[in-house]
Structure 1
């Protein structure tokens, strides 16, 4: 016959201390997760400061969601032109190339591209072929673009290697700030 086990005769003070230790351990482990979830869901105690200069795209949109067909397995500086690529669009294309060059040793991790809804002017097309040989060209569906983007006119986008839109800049973009943002993303990223 099996011997019956008797409960441990633990004094009540030690039991209370053991329970307190268990509660403290659970609080240390689960407390930060509960606090972070509450901060996210209820949007409280969130810092106002930010370390980026463009408009963060936090909706999970990709290139295809705004009517741009194209792929690249690197970080990308993408200029979108829903109308004809006029002077402000051309300035953004120039800025995108300069930013890629400014990356220095990380320049191979990024590319620059132009997505235009209308065919480019023949003179500008020749200039791009001559001066911007690495510039990628994509088509842009203007109707889907207008549905997915609230800001009018040409835009400069930073796109991650999976095709997700990360940051957006308008035609008044400061090249140094965009370069700083892209360097920061490349530093934090293991992809691309």
Structure 2
């Protein structure tokens, strides 16, 4: 009788040990597949880089018409803005934020280039060019640009800021009227995680 009781206790002890070992695995599967956590650490929308390489058909050129390519900035991170030469308030705000976001990266700021793709043939104000000296201003074919840059809902490419990785692939889009502090954190994370650029 005593031996049977010991066997029963031993079985229960063994089952308890197995249950303790299996419980974390079961809990993790339950959390992942049933509760499905939605947390993410990035503010901007991550894009599949291989889906958005810089197309050769952009037909980019400097403001004076000299052919130039976005591929020239490979090896660096590129903050990209798109707008017409008239550069209304939202355009000016984006150019200002790009300059400040680059400066905010401190010792890593030299890893970033700023590019403004101008979508028409109108002249850009001389004062604007001086104010944002260091921003590369290139004219682009609008149709080719629309085919390349993904947008969010009913927005247009001019509503967003984009990031191009050092391999020359579009990899992040920031929302319309984005919060510069959140963009700054995303860029800092990209620079910290990247061994290139």
Q: How many residues align?
A: 148
TM-score normalised over the length of structure 2: 0.66
Q: 1:138 to 1:190 in 2, by over 3 A?
A: same
- The answer for unaligned runs of 5 or more in structure 2 is 1-32, 61-68
Give the alignment partner of residue 62 of structure 1, picking from 36, 53, 61: 53
- The answer for unaligned runs of 5 or more in structure 1 is 1-43
What are the within-5 Å matches in structure 2 for residues 75-154 of structure 1?
Answer: 75-81=77-83, 84-119=86-121, 121-123=123-125, 126-148=126-148, 149-150=150-151, 151-154=155-158
Give the alignment partner of residue 48 of structure 1, picking from 30, 38, 45: 38
- Alpha-carbon distance in structure 1 between the residues aligned to 2:92 and 2:122: 11
Q: Which stretch shifts more, 133-142 or 113-122?
A: 113-122
- Alpha-carbon distance in structure 1 between the residues aligned to 2:80 and 2:131: 17
Q: Kindly report structure 1 stretches of 4+ aligned residues shifted beyond 4 Å.
A: 44-47
- Alpha-carbon distance in structure 2 between the residues aligned to 1:66 and 1:180: 32
TM-score normalised over the length of structure 1: 0.67
Q: Secondary structure at the match of 2:80?
A: strand
Q: Which stretch shifts more, 104-113 or 180-189?
A: 104-113
Structure 1 residue 66: Cα displacement = 8.4
Considering only aligned residues, what root-mean-square deviation do their CA atoms show, in Å? Answer: 2.6
- Alpha-carbon distance in structure 2 between the residues aligned to 1:127 and 1:114: 15
1:74 counterpart = 2:79: no
- Alpha-carbon distance in structure 2 between the residues aligned to 1:170 and 1:158: 12
- Alpha-carbon distance in structure 1 between the residues aligned to 2:37 and 2:141: 37
Q: Is the 8 A contact 2:53 2:168 kept in 1?
A: yes
